[in-house]
Chain A
């Protein structure tokens, strides 16, 4: 009797000890996750070792981020809501974090946030984190030091969450992972208010509105702007979700993806569109502006001088912009032989 009691006490202490020293179980994490609103387990100084230590029987994604405004990590601010959406999408369908189709797989999300620069969380020191945001991916079985770093999704906002989730589905091997995008009420409200205002204005000032709608200048500017946007490769950015700019091996910002004819950064189309627009404007100034100026100065001696100077300036600007454009093209296609001038050689 006594013996059995002793044994049972020993066993319970052993068990108790094992739960303390060994890894957290699925149940622990599920409880922790359910306590939060969005299903992201906070990694505070006391619990992170318990949560992350192995051997575990679940997958865990941990985000180390920094929302302290003084640090100014824009990527952190951008990724935070995305991460919440990713985690929330999973926990909406899986309260216990276990895949419904394949109960052998479980997935949890955790986060440590450096909110206050004076109190750096232990986990940052533990992993020697120097750059945020960091996405760590813990697979079943490993210890606290066994993790892979994940890349942040390339796309922004909801598209980024979708991209990340589809990658995560592959990495974990689960199929029942739906994306739940939070309904964006603000756009609905803005749309309805603006519709109301537009309709109101239309009724109130129908004359001005028809004047605007039937103005050929407005249509001309809109069409030309659209064409400039399209010929700058805007649709490519939109469809591929290209990053705004890249970086080279030294970590410097690169605006033009060199030697890549089939790829471009977002900023490339912006720069090129501006150049196109400027060139077009100069051309229009030559064709439309200068002749009407000539009419204005007709007969006066200084008029010819002014017109000569203006035309010369326009011609020079067109030449410089065009030279710049060919230079930019030279970056994309290095063997291009017809760069008008090397701007870099002029500056040197």
Chain B
């Protein structure tokens, strides 16, 4: 496939060179029509099965909780938004941001060279290595996470390893580190897949040229490979960061539920506190902030990362 990329096409009509403006406008309109047509199925689907449901919970966020935990529609208030200023919420949000950011950084640090290595194998090996990343994830999520409990436990293999190394038994289970390991484990494929997709399509002729041009491999990487793979980095970071922020099973199982993150906090509002208005408003604020950050990240990250 890479060979297709490196064969330069001939006779491309470079846009805008002395073309009749009327024709050009017609072409633009045709393109817009095609674009809209491509967008239509997704737009209709997400509009119906996502935006409309979302509007329903948006309405719920202004409702009130009755003392039996029922959501009373019709008594509108901003009470649930007011509760967002509780320092409890701030503390949890801050901690979640930190852990999610760390998990994303580690995934990138480990996932990038990993994806690069895979992308530079021969096509057949590539496919095998890539599927090899996904296979573990077709077992069951809970069972995998519980397996980590054993690995990290005080009698687990990791602890025995550090003991043998003379460091004494280590106990990682039920610490924030364990949560971090669990998150990295769970979301590494989310980083690797877009990175692989981005690196694999690079025009390796360019990289080769850069090799010749720059003295060191590092410089070639910094000036050519990295910028070319940036869309993958941006997409991968988002796919890791956001789900990490909302994770709640991992902190519960590996963190012993002592590292409360935003995800668990929201779950609690909907289930055990039965405060749907607060759960809704919390979700909305988190989503709004994330959407904004994502957009900015894409805009900035696409250019200057």
Genuine A/B complex: no
